Amino acid sequence: MGAAAPAKPRALQNRPEHPGCQISGYLMVNRVPGNFHIEANSVNHNLNAAMTNLSHVVNHLSFGEPEARQSRKIKKMLAGVPPEYKQFNPMDGISYVSDKFHRAHHHYLKIVSTHFGSSKKDELVKYQFLQQSQEVSYDELSVPEARFSYDLSPMSVTVKVSGVGERGLAGGGGG
């Protein structure tokens, strides 16, 4: 099993003799379990599966509405939530290094809907997640892939502001 390693200095990551890929974007998914994979593949290059290294850094991974689209009211509401109730991006900034060939990390994510607010009309729904990662071996003919498998928890968390300086945390079923 592999463990997350501290990020390498940028000078080592961006060496011209070992270029990497940068992937950015978003996926629209249904509220059902699923997965997505990242695999080295190119129509312009002949890749040797035996020499593929899928080490990667997760710069940002989140579920739900992008933070850039959130209103000031929502940002202000979230600013008052204690850090222990906010696990929106636990993978951000973590490097997953495979130091041997034929290996790649698989990530398992459990997504929990979290409801913030003092009333239904002021409610904000965000998605926190817990993650586990492990390094998996591949045979020499298979191209390793970074795999992200996710599942939505049937439980949800509710954080309500009940008065000045008071906060409550309740777990609820359904989501």
Residue 17 pLDDT: 58
Task: For residue 87, count CB atoms less than 10 angstroms from its CB and return exposed for 0-12, middle for 13-18, buried for 19 or more.
Answer: middle
Give how far Cα 104 sits from Cα of 81, 93, 136, 155, Å.
36, 18, 5, 31
pLDDT, tens digit only, all 175 positions of the chain: 444 444 444 444 455 555 567 788 888 888 899 999 988 877 887 777 777 888 889 998 988 877 766 667 677 777 877 777 777 888 999 999 988 888 999 999 999 998 877 677 777 788 889 999 999 998 888 888 999 999 999 999 887 766 555 455 555 555 4
Of 112, 113, 149, 151, nearest in space to 133 by CA: 149
Give how far Cα 120 sits from Cα of 59, 115, 160, Å.
33, 10, 10
Residue 24 pLDDT: 82
d(CA 30, CA 126): 15
Whole-model pTM: value is 0.73
Residue 167 pLDDT: 52
DSSP classification of residue 77 = H
Site of tokens 């904000």: 124
Q: Which helix (H) or strand (E) holds 12?
A: helix 10-13
Q: Which helix (H) or strand (E) holds 76?
A: helix 72-79
